[in-house]
Each structure stands twice: as C-alpha cells, then as structure tokens.
Amino acid sequence: MKDYRLRNHIPISGPATREPYSGDEPDLRVSLGFIPRWYHARLGIDFSQKWHTDPLYRYEALVKMKMYLHESFPSLPYFNTNFENGIEKTCATISGVHGIKLIPMIYGLDVRYFADDWPDNLPGQFLSKEHLENLSAPDPASSPAVRQLMGQMDVIESNFGCIHGYLNYQGILNIALKLRGNDIFMDMYDDPGFAHHLFGHIAQTILMVSKLVQARQRKSGFDINLLSMSNCVMNMVSPDAYEEFVLPYDRMLSLEYDRFGVHTCNWNVTPYLDVLRKIDKMGYIDMGMMSDMPRAKAVFPDARRAVFYPPLELECKSAIEIEEDIKKIYNELAPCDIVMADVTDTTSVEKVNEFLGIVEDLLSAK
C-alpha cells in the first residue's frame, strides 16, 4: 500500500505546512522554524511585497538564509545546502508566498506586507453576509492573485527548472474566520445553512487552487500531490460542531490527494481525536503537549504525529526541565515530529542548539 504519511515542514521564513514523509526520519525529528524578524535582525532580509511577488529576489534571499541556517544549525539535514549546476533547488520555490493569505486574497481581501513580518489582513476588513451568500462559483484562474502566482511559477521554471514548494492554503474554518470575522461562530448556530454554503465554497476554492498550482508544479518536474488542512481555531468550536460543519469538507478534500493531513495547532486535541479518526486517510496529525499523547498515538498509529514545543518553553525552562519534556514526548508519542515553530528574534542560536543537543542525546541513549 502506498505510504500516505506527511511530516511537518516549516519553509524558511514561511508558515508551517506539511511535506511527504520520506521513511528515514528519526524517532524524534525536530521541525524548526523562525519568524521573519529573526532573519531580518540577523541578515537584513526585507520581507515586503517584493519578497512575495518576485521569485528571483526571493531566491537570492533564501539562498542567503539557508546558508546562514546551515552554518548555525549543522545538525539539521534540511538546512544543508545542495547546489546542482549552481542552483539551490529548494530556494527556487513558492513556499511562503503570501504567508497564509493567498485564499483570502482570492476572495478580495487586502493584504499588508512588512519588512520583518508575515503578511496580514487589513484590520477590521471582513466581507458581509450578503456578499458571501451571493458568491459566484469559484473561478481561481481569473483571480489576480492566482494569475500573479502562475506567472511566478513560469519565471521559476525558466530560470531554475523544477518549481519547488508547499503553499499554505489554510483550512475551512480558518478561512471563514478571515472572511467573516467572529460572526462565523454565531452563523453556525443562527444560520447553519449559510455556514455550510460558505464552508463548501471555501473547500471548492482550496481544491481548485491547489489542483491548479500542483499540476503546474508537476509539469515542471516537482512531484507533489498533497493537502494539509490548517484547523488552527478548531478548539473554538466543540467536537460536535466540527463534525457537523467542517468534517464533511475535510473528508471530501482528503479523497482528492495522495496524501492528506490535519494541523490542529498548539491545542489540546484530545476531545477531537475520535471525530478526526473519521477521516479515513490521515497521514498527519499534530497537537499541543497538554493533549493525551498516548491516546493520540493509539487512535492514529498509521499517521505521522507531531507535537508543538513552544519557543517560550525554550526560553523559560532549564535544560533539565526541557530534557524531562523531551523524554515525555518520546515515551508517549514517538515516533513523531517535535515542532519548534515561530522562534522569535530574541532567541539565540546557542539556545536553539542546546535544545537540539538534548534531543540528539536522548536518541543516542536509546
């Protein structure tokens, strides 16, 4: 049977997403990522709009960042530079483009860009219920954001060959929250028909955009056929509400790809495990450390599991306390990823390497 597992993947300076599981991962694999300000402070990288729209500018910046990461964290193989004919192919990428804002942009929301941060919405900009009730059928190919992205991919292919990268399409409820604001939670109770209409439209938009983009990537020689739903706000609805309003669309999408996974963010996933198990093909599931990790392992023995270790813990805890946390993760969830995402600009290279050393020492002792 074909392996459909996914592992956590944090593109350099991009929001976390997922990539295919390779099969040679250690029992504890650290997935490490930094906020844009970390690179801006150390290397002067400018993450303004040009970074997201000019693939040649982005390539040069990413090469610089990856070389710095390799020098700073030599124990992590995914930061190794690999130049072929003078090209570092993983830097010729669409990963991180527009952060998590691509789908909201397709719906017409404006985006702000920053020199030292990820793109963000305009404060308070949402779409009215009347507007969302009368949405036309999804037509992503006509979206200026998608057309610009397709043009970027043409430039990448003509200059570098394969179009590398894993876009972050977010998830059904995440996007609905961006479009409707907090009113979406009341809509689910006051007007469930409208909520289903909106969630279904979002699911179709994600499906059509991802299929369009990934077909273009495969044509260039980059093998990709996967989707990961980012259900970051899952804990803001009950398991029953997730099952009624979101699960049908996650299940539909899961059938469209070779690999599929669900990101639940750094929350307690325990109440949602049985509902999520209703997605037949689950190649990835993540959680916070407050979750019942042994039960998550029992419910999802066939998925690559991941647990978030917040950077704040790294800053506040002693080496002994961190070691105890890593032992707990190993004993209760391994084999799994440890996701150390959004490391801030105030966190030193030495502190991160201390954490990596603790993980390596534990693995060596086993």
Yes or no: say if 301 and 289 are a contact pair by the CB < 8 Å rule.
no
Q: In the prediction, which pLDDT does 332 show? A: 98
Exposure letters 213-236 (e unless 16+ CB within 10 A, then b): bbebbeebebebbbbbbbbbbbbe
Q: In the prediction, which pLDDT does 280 show? A: 85
Predicted confidence (pLDDT) per residue in 16-65, tens digit: 999 999 999 999 999 999 999 999 999 999 999 999 999 999 999 999 99
Cα–Cα distance for residue pair 129/183, rounded to 1 Å = 9
Q: In the prediction, which pLDDT does 2 show? A: 75
Q: Residue 175 in 3-state DSSP?
A: helix
Predicted confidence (pLDDT) per residue in 89-109, tens digit: 999 999 999 999 999 999 999
Q: Which position has the token pair 């209760």?
A: 332
Predicted confidence (pLDDT) per residue in 118-157, tens digit: 999 999 999 999 999 999 999 999 999 999 999 999 999 9
Cα–Cα distance for residue pair 342/344, rounded to 1 Å = 6
Strand 83-84 and strand 336-343: the pairing is unpaired
Cα–Cα distance for residue pair 161/222, rounded to 1 Å = 9
Q: Residue 18 is inside which H or E element, if any?
A: strand 17-20
Residues of the chain with pLDDT > 70, as a percent, come to: 100
348 burial (CB, 10 Å; 0-12 / 13-18 / 19+) is exposed
212 burial (CB, 10 Å; 0-12 / 13-18 / 19+) is middle
Q: In the prediction, which pLDDT does 281 show? A: 87
Omega within 30 of 0 (cis) for the link into 335: yes
- Is residue 167 very low, low, confident or very high in pLDDT (cuts 50, 70, 90)? very high
Mean pLDDT, the chain, integer: 96
Q: In the prediction, which pLDDT does 230 show? A: 96
Cα–Cα distance for residue pair 307/288, rounded to 1 Å = 6
> Which domains are delineated in the chain?
6-365 (3.20.20.210)
Predicted confidence (pLDDT) per residue in 231-262, tens digit: 999 999 999 999 999 999 999 999 999 999 99
| Secondary structure of 119-171 in HEC code, one letter for each residue | CEECCCCCCCHHHHHCCCCCCHHHCHHHHHHHHHHHHHHHHHCCCECCCCCCC
Q: Which residues share a beta bridge with 171?
A: none
Predicted confidence (pLDDT) per residue in 298-336, tens digit: 999 999 999 999 999 998 999 999 999 999 999 999 999
Q: In the prediction, which pLDDT does 1 show? A: 54
Yes or no: say if 88 and 70 are a contact pair by the CB < 8 Å rule.
no
Cα–Cα distance for residue pair 213/199, rounded to 1 Å = 21
Yes or no: say if 13 and 52 are a contact pair by the CB < 8 Å rule.
no
Residues of the chain with pLDDT > 90, as a percent, come to: 97
Strand order through the sheet with 259-263: 28-34, 336-343, 304-308, 284-287, 259-263, 226-230
- Token pair of 14 as six digits: 């991009």
Q: In the prediction, which pLDDT does 220 show? A: 98
